[in-house]
Structure 1
Amino acid sequence: MRGLIGKIFSYFGASHELHIKRNVVTYGICVIIATVLWFLNALNKEYTTEITYPIKYTDFPKGKLLVSEPPKEMTLAIKAHGFALLRYSISTSFLPIVLNVNSLLDKKDQLEYTVNTSEIKDRISAQLNTDIQLISIKPESITFQFSRFESKRVPVIPRVDYTLKRQYMLKNDISVTPDYMDISGPASILDTLKAVYTEPISLKNLSKDVTKTVSFEEIYGTQINGNDAKVKVEVERFTESKKTVPLVVKNLPDSLLIRLFPHSIDVTFDVGLSRYEVVSDTSFSFYVDYNQIKNNPASLKIQIERSPRHIKDLVFTPETVEYLIEKKK
């Protein structure tokens, strides 16, 4: 008996819960339908709004370079029905407004020109959907500043980062061919341009000559009359060499004699094997300046006047000399 009563109560309880769920579902459907109807009604209305578009500039005047920076985007005030706005924003959300610069300029010889965007409203409107009415444009004007192209001949400078194997040195200066290059561009850029540079190259642990073909570094707004250059790095073994070099006295009055102790110095340096026999004591010039005596020093400092280019680690001893001054008889 109790089991039968329990089944009856369970049946009615389940029926009540199912009724509640059906009411919730029905309510939800009604809300969705109402929302859709409201949204469709809203889209059917006419709206005035602003949309920002990127700008793409094309067809610049030949022989001129744009040196100003015109705006990269424009804001359009438009009027359209909601359906048109929704459809257009989905289909063209990333499409730029295209402006043909050459066709905007009335006088081709001008280097500065301002275009009122109200005057090109029809051109911009033609790029929009026919369901959209263009009201106004921001910015109100776009200014283009140009510079004429000129030509200039400048040296080519190689950019080389290198290391050498032990007991090796550069045989000659790093060379580049061609060593001069013609470059075209606006005068405002060429006036400050002193050279063109190659792209950097890195050479490690060199023990033999290397030649590389390297492109030029780009310089904005210019055109280099060539695509690349050849960079040559020559290396060779070196050895240590020693020379004895006499000292020279500068600015000595004609009425005086000066004796130096010592009167010559020992010079030690590293030199490439190809130049070992070429470098002699006459390749160097060291001197002392008599004007140092005004300060009454105990010794005079030795200074270098000349030394060969392709040597390294130059050391000389002593670095100062004692002196004795005598009057000429």
Structure 2
Amino acid sequence: MTTLRRIWLLILRLSGEDRRVVVFIVFLMLSSGFWLINALRSEYVSTISYPVLFINLPSDKVVSSEVPASIDLKIRGTGFSLLRYHWAEQLYPYAFDVTKMRRVFDGTLKGAYLVTRDYTHRLSDQLSSDIELVEMTPDTIYISFYDKMTRKVPVRFKGDITFVSQYNQTGEVQFMPDSVSVTGPEYLVDTLNAVNTEYRRFEQIADTIRQSVSLVQMPNVMLSNNNVNVMVPVEAFTEAAVDVPIVVRGVADKMVIKTFPAEVRVSYRVGISRFESVSSQHFLAVVDAAGFDSGNQVRLKVKLEGAPDFVYSVDYFPLFVDYLIERSE
């Protein structure tokens, strides 16, 4: 069923038995159509957005992000002609050749610019013959050039991870690749410390995470990879404890300090796969006796200075110990 037939049936349904309503609506539609056709024959001035691009850029430079993707053309023509550009006409970008633009130097090449009115005839040729180009905006287009720089930058994970009870992360987040090449203006690339992944949230995890994650895109900077593979090692953990001997440092000559107790109890959490590999030798409990005053200092503070990087939630007891000073011959 055609659209006109549907409209006609709708009119009949709305009008009911009164044919005068049908006649009125038909004449109203005809008069509106004649008015529209007559109006479209008149001339109007309108503004359209015309796409542009820039070619033959210097290979050792990058351009600023302010380079326009289009310019505004004020055009004059009949309503019929203008409708093509607002509704149906597909506009192909006009290519400005950067090598033919005016150059700006300050010791080195800093930029290039053009005056749009110099391109009036060329852009007019892109329009149909019944369209007159009246004006172009902006009147000047300037492109800034910056020295190009490429360097490798490490990838950094951004996100949050929660785990099922009795599970936890058992190692560093790993990436493949672990770094990406970044190309862009030297003043930007030289200050980058890392490229972040897009924020991801993983909840109630009970197994190792292996996923592809997108990298955060930065304006005016190009990355060698748009995403990386992320691996977060996860496994069940267990709680364990070892007795670690206390090492006394900074003892004066001919003096021996004994602590009571002689060991601290170190508790920690560790992944089940590495439970057997942990021993007291992986920890270092220290008492610093340098400069302490035996007359005023009742107890000595214990510091835990060494622990393997694959254990976590490390704690120890006691934090303070008694001591006995002995003179050696």
Return the TM-score normalized by structure 2.
Answer: 0.69
Letter of the 1:209 counterpart = T
1:61 aligns with 2:56: yes
5+ residue gaps, structure 2, are: 1-30
- Alpha-carbon separation, structure 1, partners of 2:92 and 2:200: 42
- 1:93 is matched with which residue: 63, 86, 101? 86
- Alpha-carbon separation, structure 1, partners of 2:323 and 2:138: 81
Cα deviation, 1:166-222, whole Å, max 9, x if unaligned, reads 222333323222223333333233212223344444443333334323443333334
TM-superposed deviation, 1:115 = 0.9
1:288 aligned residue? 287
TM-superposed deviation, 1:58 = 1.7
Q: What pairs up with 1:36-75 in 2 under 5 angstroms?
A: 43=42, 52-61=47-56, 63=59, 64-70=61-67, 74=71
SS class of match (1:188): helix
Higher Rg: 1
- Alpha-carbon separation, structure 2, partners of 1:296 and 1:120: 90
TM-superposed deviation, 1:285 = 0.5
Letter of the 1:100 counterpart = A
TM-superposed deviation, 1:313 = 1.9
1:177 aligned residue? 176
Cα deviation, 1:210-241, whole Å, max 9, x if unaligned, reads 43234433333344334543322333332221
1:320 aligned residue? 320
2:305 aligned residue? 305
Note if contact 2:56-2:99 (Cα within 8 Å) is conserved in structure 1.
no
TM-superposed deviation, 1:279 = 0.9
- Alpha-carbon separation, structure 2, partners of 1:219 and 1:196: 9
- Alpha-carbon separation, structure 1, partners of 2:138 and 2:54: 21
Cα deviation, 1:27-84, whole Å, max 9, x if unaligned, reads xxxxx9xxx8xx98x957xx9x7x5443523244354533141456656566x5xxx2
- Alpha-carbon separation, structure 1, partners of 2:72 and 2:224: 41
Q: Percent identity at matched positions?
A: 27
SS class of match (1:217): coil
- Alpha-carbon separation, structure 1, partners of 2:219 and 2:65: 13
- Alpha-carbon separation, structure 1, partners of 2:79 and 2:96: 31
5+ residue gaps, structure 1, are: 1-31
Note if contact 2:74-2:135 (Cα within 8 Å) is conserved in structure 1.
yes
- Alpha-carbon separation, structure 2, partners of 1:59 and 1:116: 14
TM-superposed deviation, 1:326 = 5.7
- Alpha-carbon separation, structure 2, partners of 1:191 and 1:114: 27
Q: What pairs up with 1:231-246 in 2 under 5 angstroms?
A: 231-246=230-245
Note if contact 1:247-1:288 (Cα within 8 Å) is conserved in structure 2.
yes
2:10 aligned residue? none
- Alpha-carbon separation, structure 2, partners of 1:74 and 1:133: 16
Return the TM-score normalized by structure 1.
Answer: 0.69
SS class of match (1:92): helix
TM-superposed deviation, 1:133 = 4.8
Pair 1:203–1:134, CA change in 2 (3 A)? closer
Note if contact 1:52-1:74 (Cα within 8 Å) is conserved in structure 2.
no
